[in-house]
Structure 1
Amino acid sequence: MLAGLWLALAPASVLAQVPPPGFVWYVLDELNRASFDIEDPTNRPVPLTEPPAGVLLPVDVSRDGVADWLIRWPEDQQFCGTGGCRLSLYVSDDNRYLRVFDRQAWDPDIRTIGDEVRLEASFHHLNCLTARNVCRLAWAWDPAARSLSERPSSDGEAVVSGFGEGVVDLGEVDGRPKLPADIPAAVFDRYLAGRRACGNPDDPDAFTVSYPAVASTPDLNGDGQRDWVIEAPSACAEQAAADYGYEVWISDETDGASRAFVAAPGRWPAFQVGRAPARLLDARPCLTGEICDTVPLEWNLAARVFRPASPASLSSRP
Structure 2
Amino acid sequence: MKALEVFKIKDVELRNRIVMPPMCMYSSDDSGIVKDFHRLHYGARAFGGTGLVIQEATAVESRGRISDKDLGIWSDEHIDGLKELVDMVKGYGAASGIQLAHAGRKCAVSDEDIIGPSSLPYDDQYAVPREMTLNDIKEIVQSFKKAAERALNAGYDLLEIHGAHGYLIHEFLSPLTNKRTDQYGGNLHNRVRLLSEVIDAVKEVWPETKPLILRVSASDYTEGGIDADMICEITDLVKDGLDIIHVSSGGLVPAEMELYPGYQVRFAERIKKECNVPTIAVGLIDDLQMVEFILGSEKADLVALGREILRNPNWVLNNLHRKGIKYRYPEQYFRAYR
Structure with the greater alpha carbon radius of gyration: 1
More strand by share: 1
Aligning the two structures, in what range does the TM-score lie when normalised by the shorter sequence?
under 0.3
Higher relative contact order (CA 8 A, sep 6+): 2
More helix by share: 2
Return the TM-score normalized by structure 1: 0.27
